[in-house]
Amino acid sequence: MNQLSPEEKNNLPRHVALIMDGNGRWAKSRRMPRLFGHRKGVENVRSVVNTAKEVGVPYITLYAFSTENQNRPREEKSGLMKLLEEFLKKEIRSMMEDGIRLRAIGDLSGLPDFARDIVENTIEQTKGNKNWNLTLALNYGSRQEVLRAIARYNRDHSSTPHLPKWDDFSPYLETGDLPDPDLIIRTSGEFRLSNFLLLQAAYAEIFVSPLHWPDFDRNAFIEALANYARRERRFGKTSEQIHQPIHTS
């Protein structure tokens, strides 16, 4: 598949979040070291961002490094951080040209100084860009994010203990200025969220691709978008209500 039909184009997600999994297996199947797979994986980010621009998906979020990935071997972690630095150095120009705003979610204090510095500088440099939104989840875990959000919420509402309304609490999540993801794509055939956007994904559609991340090309992304476009999102209502809105009040 390489094109979306006009109907599919009318039904695209606004926010796609991708769990970029399978770099290690991709490399292993070629008898190459895991970091070779990560390098190929980083190269693939550009193709996904380009496809998002081509079809008009304004928000892309990429799960790049999880809280639990901190338990990987030291050489793999430092290799990943160097790849992150290389990626941002290389992409800053096209981000400015294309109007891409970079954001990050996750605990950046747990990154090495050089990586945190370039992430923060790129966020600062691109903060006026308004066309597209690229968010990197770095040292990110949803449970940890929620605990940080509760602490921040309590700091601002210290007067009396109370049960917050969701709309008052959700801005304290690190995704506070992003819409909820409409579609979550995971590559490499794994059917799990691995601590990614657990609350934000409450009504996200989930698509699992059998391809390893370095092989998840434009056509695979288009196929996921077309699959999404054909689904009916009911948000708890009945199918009939979706087609003929009934006033419930």
Across the chain, the runs of DSSP E, i.e. the strands, are: 15-19, 59-66, 100-105, 132-140, 183-186, 205-208
- Judged by CB under 5 A, the residue of 15, 19, 21, 42 near Mg ion is 21
Structure tokens at 111: 């990154």
Q: Is 20 in the site for ligand IPE (CB under 6 A)?
A: yes
Tell me which stretch binds Mg ion (CB under 5 A): 17-25, 53-61, 222-230, 241-249. 17-25
Indicate which residues carry an active-site annotation: 21, 69
Q: Is 143 in the site for ligand IPE (CB under 6 A)?
A: no
Nearest-angstrom CA–CA distance, 102 and 111: 17
Q: Is 66 in the site for ligand IPE (CB under 6 A)?
A: yes
State the binding partner of 66 from Mg ion, ligand IPE, none, CB within 5 to 8 A by kind: ligand IPE
- Judged by CB under 6 A, the residue of 23, 44, 175, 209 near ligand IPE is 23
Nearest-angstrom CA–CA distance, 238 and 249: 16
Q: In what order do the strands lie in the sheet with 59-66?
A: 100-105, 132-140, 59-66, 15-19, 183-186, 205-208
CB of residue 50 to Mg ion, shortest distance in Å: 24
Instruction: Give residues in contact with ligand IPE (CB under 6 A).
Output: 19-25, 63-66, 69, 80, 188, 190, 192, 194
